[in-house]
Amino acid sequence: MTTSLMSLTIDELEDKVLDLAEEYEVVDEGSSGFKASVNGEWLNDSFDTEEEAYRALISYLTNK
């Protein structure tokens, strides 16, 4: 059974990221938004919300 990413909370998204990779970061850049990286590789300049950053991490890790 699969779970829609849209129905997950931030905590559930974080748990999924931790399951997929041991090293990840979501860095709050204040007014610039959130920056996300996997093993030091930046995924995007910035995201508007922490949830978007986690979704980008999950997408990156599942499509890698």
Q: Could you give the CA distance from residue 32 to residue 48 in angstroms, rounded to a whole number?
A: 8
Taking the C-alpha atoms of residue 34 and residue 2, their distance in angstroms, rounded to an integer, is: 27
Strands (E), 1-40: 24-28, 34-38
Residue with the larger pLDDT of the pair 41 and 1:
41
Q: Give the pLDDT band (50/70/90) at residue 25.
A: low
For the cut 70, the answer to whether the pLDDT of residue 32 exceeds it is: yes
SS3 7: helix
Interval 16-41 mean pLDDT: 70
Determine phi and psi for 33, rounding to 5 degrees: 100, -155
Spell out the domain ranges in the chain: 5-63
Q: pLDDT band at residue 36, thresholds of 50, 70 and 90?
A: confident
